[in-house]
Every structure is written in structure tokens, then in C-alpha cells.
Structure 1
Amino acid sequence: MMNVAIIGAAGRMGTRLIHAVCETKGLTLSTAVERDGHPQLGMDAGLIAGAGELGVPLTSDLDAAVAAADVLIDFTFPEVTLNNLAVCARHGKMLVSGSTGFTPEQKHQVEEFAKTIPVVLAPNMSIGVNACFKLLKEAARILGDDFDVEVVELHHNRKKDSPSGTAVRMGEVVAEVLGRDYNQVANYHREGMCGERTHAEIGMQTVRGGDIVGEHTVYFIGMGERIEISHRAMSRDMFARGAARACVWLQGQPPGLYDMQDVLGLS
């Protein structure tokens, strides 16, 4: 059995991760972590998540939690993830992270930590979304430069980064196949007399509102026809199941930086 620690265990994502870990063969919840001063510290993490009593009290001691685990699951923010990576590296433990919004410098720091421990870092842990990444590569290869590309993503009103990490990765996937530099062709803003659309650009459009879990559509728009590759998330459970699957896959892997394409054998 792999011992799993979850950070942010009392949050919306953390509670779903507890369920996923409990439902995945080969995994057991060893520790559940929350911030200092959280009102539920000391309570049973299973009861907080509605998964039944697990005998795992909510703690704020990240160092002890990581020391007692084989792998830490992290759905937080880049700054927090980097701190978690430092703790995992110090203890020689693995990390699975679904955090998004990393700057190039922060990504480089993740790569440095991954030289010493196995790390799965993915903007989206959903199996369906990662299937979409594969489909996007094939679509871009077939359609080539004859189609304009636009990416539209929708999320809940509490999401902090924009565009989503998943949308950015979709744009990157298409750009790579078409031989374009994503950072040069991504267009995040159109307003006023901005001129005609350039052929090489990839439009990145963002919608925020309500409780939308996550929706992504990539449009390949040609003359007289349009192809849409879409994914709609109905709940956070699919992200949690993907993270649990990544934990199982990591067992026995050498140090390195992996993503869900590796976990699913799609690389």
C-alpha cells in the first residue's frame, strides 16, 4: 500500500481527493493537511470529507505529514507547490500536483526538484482532457495551416488564474504541431480597432461565472467548415481520480518530471 498525504484536505478539491484515494486499490490515506488556524484541525479527515471515519486527524504539520507518506497530492498554487516540493525533496518523497499558473521561472524550479524526486505535474488530471490533448495533436497535424485556431475556456467565478492551465496546454499542443512559438502567437485580448486576425495567432478566450467546474473547446475554423474538440467537466471527481491514478503509476518511477500523458501511456 502507498501512503498518501493530501494538502488542502478540507477544501472542495481536497475532500474529493480523500474519496478518490479511499476508492483506489493500493492507496491509503496516511495524513491530511490544512493551514495553521483552520477551524477543523484535529477532526477526522474522513468525516470532514463525508467518506466515513478514517482515523486520520486534520493536521497543519506538513513536515511530519510528508515524512509519514510515500507521496503528497497537491492542488494548490505555484508558490505553495514549490514549498511542498522542497519538503518532499528533503524527505525523498514523491509529489503529484495539479496546480496551474506557473511562470517560466517557477517551472524551472519544479524541473530542478524533479531531478531528485519523481514528480507528476499536470494542468489537468482528467483522463478525458488528456485524451483531448492527443486528439488535438492529430487534428492539428491533419488540418495544418489552413484553419484558424481559437481556444475558449469557462470556469467558476473563484478561479484565480486566467487562462486556465488546461487552455494554455491546449494552445501549446496545437502550436507545437504547427511549428509555432505559443508565446509569440497566443492572443489573449481583442478590443476596439485591433485589426484583422493574423493567420498564425491562436486566440485564447476566457469566461468566468457561477460554479462551472471547467469547460474547454478548441475551434479549428476553415472556409466553409468548423471542427470543435470539447471537454466538459461535470464534477471535480475526475481530477481526483486522475491524481490517484498518477500516485499508483509513480510507484517505482525514477526521479523526473512527468505529466498525465506519461501516466496514461499517451506520450
Structure 2
Amino acid sequence: MRVGIAGIGGRVGRLLVEEVRAAGMELSGGTTRKVQEGGAAYPLFTDLAELAALSDVVIDFTHADTVCDNARILAQAGVAWVLGTTGLSPAQMGAVDEAARRIGVVHAANFSPGVTLVQRLAQMMGQALPAESYDAEIVEMHHRQKVDAPSGTALAIGRAVALGRGVALEDVRESGRDGHTGPRQTGAIGFAALRGGQIVGEHEVLFTSADEQITLTHRAFDRRIFATGAVRAAGWLSGRAPGLYGMEDVLGLPPL
């Protein structure tokens, strides 16, 4: 399998290079904003279409602003897509859906197997624990350079809780409480975002009633876990029919 990496010079991109090679796959190259002559041990491109022409799958951890163009290019090239970009608008998500009609796409807010299982458990708990009795709160902490809040992973966990409860997250989400906010709304899913140091990622999901509290916690110690999971997803896509898949599919979890 020939694997290309969009944004190969980023922090995750550099780890992806190592993980692709460790998995015995062929690294077809990567995209970067500016190609410098010499020094690279793999082909570099500024145009994703050039990389796609040499690849069977492209792993993409770039930016939401590139998603629409990347979706069009990879769909036209017939190249599978592993997408780890979060914070997508409805229009950008629509471009992903459209591409998935022509190619296999694995899209995940987080490629860690542990986070995937936390999302599954959060959905099960949302389904089993009545919203009228159990308040759901999600706390996340990341490094000080992170620009979006709550994190894409926290929102994915929140959507899992909302799915279990049969509601849309947008209808029950509460974020960034400050000042005299009044009492907590029944059925709300709350978010708190902390930033500091160089923390890779910590997520905690709490279900609290008047009588008990259940907590799910996940801590990432190394960004390599995201690269390892993305490469696993790339291998899983080999020979798959067009469609939009998630890490639950890659891990072989049965549908709820």
C-alpha cells in the first residue's frame, strides 16, 4: 500500500512517516507549504493532486480550510482518505460526505483506540442513565498552543452521549459558564476546557446523580498514538467500498 501524508512536516506528520514505515507500507511522499531542495528522504509536493497520483491512501491532519479542496481532489483521483481534521463546518462536512460516495473515508476526531472506546462507553451510559437524574459533564485539557475549545475529541464524546440520549448535541450543549448563569439545565451536556503546558490531551466524562458519580478518563501521553491509529485506519481501508467510516469500524466494534 502506497501512503501519502498531507501536512507531512507537522508534529503528527513526522510521526506518521515513522509509523508508515514501521507498518511495512510504502511512503509515497507528502505535501508541505514550501518544497525546499534537498534534504528530504521522500518526495515532497505543494499540490495534493500530485501526491494523490502516487498514492493508494492519503492521511490528512491538516486544517479545516483545506477539507473541501482535499475532498474534491482525492475523490477525483479515486484515492482513499484518512481524515483527522476536526472543527468542520456543515459545508466542509458535506464535502466529506460527497467524497465518501466515491472513495473510502475514515474520519475521526481522535484515532486513539482508547478514545474510541471511551466514546462507545459514553454513548452506552448516555442511553442507560436518565438525563433527568444524571448530569453529564465533559472536561478536557490540552497544551497551551491549542486554538480551539472545546477540543474536537471532547465534542465527539459529547455527541456520543447525546446520541445515547436521542438528542442533538447542539440543542443541549453548555460551554464556558461564567458569571451568574442560574441553575444547571436538566439534560444539558456541559463542557469545560483547560489549557496549559504541553499536555497532549486529557478527557474526562462525568455522569453525576444525587447518589453517585461515574467517571471515564483518558490521558494521551504521546502524539504517536494518533499516528499509529491513523496508519491502522489506512491499512484497514485497503479494498474497502466507498463510504464514510469511523474508528469504531476500524476496531471492529459491533453497532449498538
TM-score norm. by structure 2 comes to: 0.94
> Is 1:151–1:167's contact at 8 Å kept on the other side of the alignment?
yes
Match of 1:43 in 2: 39
Provide the rounded CA distance (Å) in 2 between the counterparts of 1:30 and 1:131: 31
Match of 1:111 in 2: 97
Instruction: Verify: 1:102 aligned to 2:88, yes or no.
Output: yes
Query: Which of 7, 26, 29 pairs up with 2:27?
Result: 29
Match of 2:216 in 1: 229
Provide the identity percentage.
42
Provide the rounded CA distance (Å) in 2 between the counterparts of 1:65 and 1:134: 35
Task: Quote how far apart the aligned CAs of 1:41 are.
Answer: 5.1
Letter in 2 for 1:12: R
Task: Quote how far apart the aligned CAs of 1:255 are.
Answer: 0.9
Q: What SS is found at the alignment partner of 2:130?
A: helix
Letter in 2 for 1:94: A
Please list, as runs of the form range in 1=range in 2, the aligned pairs for 1:37-116 lying within 5 A after superposition. Answer: 40=36, 42-45=38-41, 56-116=42-102
Aligned in 2, Cα 1:41/1:118: closer, same or farther, shift over 3 Å? farther
Query: Structure 1 stretches of 5 or more lacking a match?
Result: 46-55
Q: What SS is found at the alignment partner of 1:144?
A: coil
Match of 1:10 in 2: 9
Letter in 1 for 2:74: C
> Is 1:43–1:58's contact at 8 Å kept on the other side of the alignment?
no
Letter in 2 for 1:8: G
Provide the rounded CA distance (Å) in 2 between the counterparts of 1:151 and 1:44: 42
Letter in 1 for 2:119: F
Instruction: Verify: 1:149 aligned to 2:147, yes or no.
Output: no
Provide the rounded CA distance (Å) in 2 between the counterparts of 1:172 and 1:59: 36
Provide the rounded CA distance (Å) in 1 between the counterparts of 2:182 and 2:97: 39
Match of 1:158 in 2: 145
Aligned in 2, Cα 1:190/1:97: closer, same or farther, shift over 3 Å? same
Please list, as runs of the form range in 1=range in 2, the aligned pairs for 1:207-226 lying within 5 A after superposition. Answer: 207-226=194-213
Match of 1:172 in 2: 159
Q: What SS is found at the alignment partner of 1:18?
A: helix
Q: How many aligned residue pairs are there?
A: 253
> Is 1:72–1:94's contact at 8 Å kept on the other side of the alignment?
yes
Query: Which of 183, 197, 208 pairs up with 2:170?
Result: 183
In angstroms, what is the RMSD of aligned CA positions? Answer: 1.4
Task: Quote how far apart the aligned CAs of 1:246 are.
Answer: 0.5
Letter in 2 for 1:31: G
Task: Quote how far apart the aligned CAs of 1:87 are.
Answer: 1.4
Q: What SS is found at the alignment partner of 1:158?
A: coil
Question: In the TM superposition, what whole-angstrom CA distance separates every residue of 1:138-165 from its partner, at most 9, and x where no partner exists?
Answer: 2223322221000011111222222111
Q: Which moved more, 1:76-85 or 1:206-215?
A: 76-85
Q: What SS is found at the alignment partner of 1:257?
A: strand
